[in-house]
Amino acid sequence: MKTIEDMARDARLAYKAFLNKGTTMLKNDILEAIAENILKERDRIVDANGKDLENGRKKGLSKAFLDRLELNNNRIDGMYRACMEIMALKDPVGSVNDMTVRPGGFRVGKMRVPIGVIGMIYEARPNVTVEAAVLCLKAGNGVILRGGSDALNSNMALAGLIRDTLKEKEVDENLISFIETTDRTAIVDLIQQNKFVDLIIPRGGESLIRTVTEKSKIPVLKHYKGVCHTYVNEFADLDMALKVTVNAKVQRPAVCNTTETLLVDEAVAPTFLPAVIKALLKNGVEIRGCPKTMAYSDDIKEATEDDWYAEYLDLTLAVKVVKDIDEAIAHIDKYGSAHTDAIITRDIAVSEMFIRNVDSSSVIVNATTRLADGGVYGLGTEIGIATDRLHARGPMGLEELTTYKWVVYGNGNIRQ
Kindly list the residues in this chain that would bind its own copies in the complex (CB under 8 A): 16, 19-20, 94, 100, 102, 104, 106, 108, 111, 113, 115-116, 198-199, 219, 237, 240, 243-244, 247-248, 251-252, 333, 353, 355-357, 359-368, 370-372, 376-378, 388-391, 393-395, 403-416
Least distance from its own copies to the Cβ atom of residue 404, Å: 6
Least distance from its own copies to the Cβ atom of residue 249, Å: 11
* Nearest CA among 251, 235, 267, 249 for reference residue 344: 235
Distance CA 385, CA 369 (A): 14
Which residue, 29 or 333, is less far from its own copies as judged by CB?
A: 333
C-beta neighbour count of 115 within 10 angstroms: 20
Answer yes or no: are the C-beta atoms of 316 and 328 closer than 8 Å: no
Please give the backbone phi and psi of residue 383, each rounded to the nearest 5 degrees, phi first.
-90, -10
- One DSSP character per residue, 173-194 reads GGGEEE-----THHHHHHTT-T
Least distance from its own copies to the Cβ atom of residue 71, Å: 25
Which residue, 134 or 364, is less far from its own copies as judged by CB?
A: 364
Which residue, 254 or 408, is less far from its own copies as judged by CB?
A: 408
Which residue, 44 or 323, is less far from its own copies as judged by CB?
A: 323
The CA-CA-CA angle for residues 210, 257, 384, to 5°, reads 55
Which residue, 229 or 288, is less far from its own copies as judged by CB?
A: 229
Distance CA 186, CA 109 (A): 40
Which residue, 104 or 270, is less far from its own copies as judged by CB?
A: 104
Task: Give the contacts of 373 (CB within 8 A, at least 6 positions apart).
Answer: 257, 382, 395
Which residue, 59 or 391, is less far from its own copies as judged by CB?
A: 391
Least distance from its own copies to the Cβ atom of residue 84, Å: 19
H helices of 139-184, in order, are 152-168
Which residue, 62 or 411, is less far from its own copies as judged by CB?
A: 411
Least distance from its own copies to the Cβ atom of residue 101, Å: 9
Question: Alpha-carbon torsion 349, 350, 352, 357, what sign?
Answer: positive
H helices of 60-112, in order, are 63-69, 73-88
Q: Where are the beta strands (DSSP E) in 115-155?
A: 117-122, 142-146
Least distance from its own copies to the Cβ atom of residue 282, Å: 17
Distance CA 201, CA 196 (A): 15
Least distance from its own copies to the Cβ atom of residue 267, Å: 20
Least distance from its own copies to the Cβ atom of residue 69, Å: 25
Please give the backbone phi and psi of residue 218, each rounded to the nearest 5 degrees, phi first.
-115, 145
